[in-house]
Chain A
Amino acid sequence: MFNKKMLVVSVEIIFLIFVFLLVIWPMMSLFIWSIAETWYWPSTLPQKMGFDYWKQALGMQQSLAIGAVSIVPAFFLSLMIAIIVVVISMLIAIPAGYALAKYRIPFGAFILFLFLMPNAFPQQPIFVNLLRTFTKLGLAGTVSGVILVHILVGLVFGVWITNATFKSIPPYMEEAARSVGASRFQAFYKITLPLAAPGLLASAVFVFITSLDEFTGTFFVGLPFVNTLPMTLYSSSGYNMQFASVIAIILLIPSILFMVLIQRVLKAEYVGGMG
């Protein structure tokens, strides 16, 4: 018995070390870099630590260092774009996912496949072409243009995940609602939508994070006028490791918040009953 317990404990310890090295350590490293004010080579920890770079990034202090700008405008721009992208994508994805799941749509599988297209090819050639079209339409270098690109990239998660979610809800759930007097819309709104909520939220989170992190499309279509957080990170990372670390950590925060939110919803009472 003792040996078995020892074995279990040591496997657990090895696993923990593994997780630590794989996940936590890079993040720790990011964090240490973000507070390093002086850090020369053989030293394991920075010689001088402080929150100067955080203060610069958050616009609380002006610095003359290369690449040091306030990221507050970029952060709010990214957040705004991401929220708009999520709202528009879900307004498209929920009806589309539902229709493709519940009705026999001609070429349904093909339509689903179309949403995958922007992610199925190398992105650069697609966006270079898109830039030409957007320039003609006057969308290049505008926030609207960037929002459109993010929707294009994110919609695959929106439509595919909502479609799978609606497919997983058996048709008799809505039929039971109709049989007690609910109209088609009431059955959808009161029965299917709440049952689909965890899946819909998951797909919204994917769209949100995709938009927040989107780089290539924004690079081609948005620059130099639309400076999202990833753009700022890119332009500073070449010059200033500390500053890049600060932005990277800030980029992580909404994702982590959303992941916590998902986990909460996925634990909700009724999900257990669906399996």
Chain B
Amino acid sequence: MPDLRLVNIVKTYGKLRAIDNLNLTVEDGELLTLLGPSGCGKTTTLRAVTGFVAPDSGDIYIGDRKISDIPPEKRGIGLVFQNYALWPHMTVFQNLAFGLQLKKMSKAQISKKVAEGLTIVKLEELEDRYPRQLSGGQQQRVALARALVLEPDILLLDEPLSNLDALLREQMRFEIAQLHKQYGITTIYVTHDQTEAMVISDRIAVLNKGKLIQLDTPAEIYSRPANKFVAGFMGTTNFIHGNVQDISGDYGAVETNGGLILHGRGLGLEKGQEVDVAVRPENVEFLRQSQASRPHGDLNIFDARVDRATYVGELIDYQLTLGDSIIRAKGDVRRKRAAGETVKIYIDPDHLPVLGE
């Protein structure tokens, strides 16, 4: 399987830069997710790869083959749409067979391929049904099979699960990840759902306003976001604003407006720089009074007041006042702190990103 390379892609609509000089390589056999809010350029990028959008400049390659100059049907790219885009006047069999017929395969070959395709997505029994006789999940599997039977070099999935209900969506995530592992097709997956991106991806490319903001593994992106936008987009985060007071290696001490000194990790910091510290709710540790000593001495141990404690089943959702900031935290259900109580909390500096603009 070849890789897919996007080189200096620019696409503007009037004054809007939908894709702003994008360079991106999807490695051979990798599942890379384009993640971002609506209007970030992820769909335009996908459409540029498929050939339905012509970039103003830049080139796209599959392996050594330059595809940006050839029409969509000759690119060898499989495509799965958000709305499934099954052809309503054709049965499931005919939907899968259409591309194979265009390749001038024999009838016997086509039947064999279609049967294989339906086995992959576990819909062997449904080949004579029309799309409207299928559930949403089944339709999406047919769409997936339709793309896979042609054995494309690259598979593109455009928000394939966003029309499904929550339970099915979760199940299909794992199925798609499993299929990808099994067949190893180089895949681009577009979504605005960060949980989906975390579950399914080998790497995530976070886009905003047509620019690539960060490209890394899900774990790295989550724990070491490149900037405030990425941190805010990847799940709930409390931002505390402050100034860099001191720097040692990759660590910086930040004085907040409320006078607290927070120690966290950050690259390329400068003294006096205005920064945001990103506190994830799950990284707030509640200490017992006896547990005063930590690996970093008494660094990052603070007193906070519980404003609100909400029981949500597997955890307790707290709202705390820390200095002059209000933050959310997640706590163990076995040891509930009541509202009004003062608690000692600890935030591990390794899990406390310090972010410039």
Which chain B residues lie closer than 8 Å to A179 at the CB level? 50, 72-73, 77-79, 147
Q: Which residues of A contact B72 (CB under 8 A)?
A: 175, 178-179
Taking a contact as CB atoms closer than 8 A, the residue among B87, B102, B147 that contacts A173 in the complex is B87
Whether A181 lies near B130 (C-beta < 8 A) is: no
Interface 1/0s, chain A 85-115, versus B by CB < 8 A? 0000000000000000000000000000000
> Does A266 reach chain B (CB closer than 8 Å)?
no
State the CA gap A182–B79 with chains docked (Å).
13
Note all chain B residues with C-beta closer than 8 A to A178.
Answer: 51-52, 71-73
A201 → B minimal CB distance (Å): 14
In whole angstroms, what is the CA distance A191 to B94 when docked? 12
Closest to B158 in A: A172
Chain B residues lying within 8 Å of A175, measured Cβ to Cβ, are: 50, 52, 72, 79, 81, 85
The A-B contact count (CB < 8 A) is 73
Query: In this complex, what residue of A is CB-closest to B86?
Result: A176
- Residues of chain A within 8 A (CB-CB) of B87 are 173, 176-177, 191, 195
Q: Are A272 and B132 in contact (CB under 8 A)?
A: yes
B15 within 8 A of A: no
A190 CB within 8 Å of chain B: yes
B138 CB to closest chain A CB (Å) equals: 14
Residues on the B chain within 8 Å of A182, using CB: 73, 98-99, 102
A interface, over-half SS:
helix
Q: What A residues does B85 contact at CB under 8 A?
A: 170, 172-173, 175-176
Interface flags for B71-109 (1: CB within 8 Å of A; 0: not) read 111100111010101111100000000110011000000
Which listed residue, A172, A190, A273, A274, touches B98 by the CB 8 Å rule? Answer: A190
- What string of 1s and 0s marks CB contacts (under 8 Å) between A187-222 and chain B? 000110011000000000000000000000000000
Please, which residues of chain A bring their CB within 8 A of the CB of B98? 177, 180, 182, 190
Nearest-neighbour CB distance to chain B for A268, whole angstroms, equals 8
* Least CB distance, A211 to chain B, in whole angstroms: 29
Taking CB as reference atom, which chain A residue is nearest B47? A175
A104 to B304, CA, bound (A): 60
Cβ–Cβ < 8 Å partners of A270 in chain B: 88-89, 130
Taking the complex as formed, is A235 at the interface, i.e. its CB lies under 8 A from any CB of chain B? no
Q: Which residues of A contact B146 (CB under 8 A)?
A: 176, 180
Task: Find out whether the CB atom of A273 lies under 8 angstroms from the CB atom of B130.
Answer: yes
Smallest CB–CB gap between B150 and chain A, Å?
6
B131 on the A face (CB < 8 A): yes
Residues in A whose Cβ lies below 8 Å from that of B73 = 178-183
Once A175-B52, A179-B147 are accepted as A-B contacts, the answer to whether A274 and B88 lie under 8 Å apart by CB is yes
Q: How far is the CA of A178 from the CA of B102 in the complex (A)?
A: 11
Judge if A186 is at the interface, Cβ distance under 8 Å. yes
B 11-38 to A, binary, CB cutoff 8 A, 1 in contact else 0: 0000000000000000000000000000
Most buried by B among A180, A181, A194: A180
B82, chain A: closest CB distance, angstroms: 8
B89 touches A195 (CB 8 A): yes
User: In the complex, what distance in Å separates the CA atom of A209 from the CA atom of B88?
Assistant: 30
Min CB distance, B146 to chain A, in Å? Answer: 7
Over the window 34-77 of chain B, the binary record of Cβ atoms lying under 8 Å from chain A Cβ atoms (1 yes, 0 no) is 00000000000000001110000000000000000001111001
Contacts of A177 in B (CB 8 A): 87, 98
**Known contacts A186-B102, A194-B89, A270-B88, A176 near B132 by CB under 8 Å:** no
Besides A176-B146, A182-B102, 12 other CB < 8 A contacts? A172-B83, A175-B50, A177-B98, A179-B73, A181-B73, A181-B102, A181-B103, A186-B102, A195-B87, A195-B89, A273-B89, A273-B132
By Cβ-Cβ distance, the 7 closest A-B pairs, closest first, are A180-B99, A273-B88, A270-B89, A179-B79, A273-B132, A176-B85, A172-B85
**Can you pick out 21 interface pairs between chain A and chain B where the beta carbons lie within 8 Å of each other?**
A172-B83, A175-B50, A175-B72, A175-B81, A176-B87, A176-B146, A177-B98, A179-B50, A179-B73, A179-B147, A180-B78, A180-B146, A181-B74, A181-B99, A181-B103, A182-B73, A183-B71, A184-B71, A186-B102, A194-B89, A269-B130
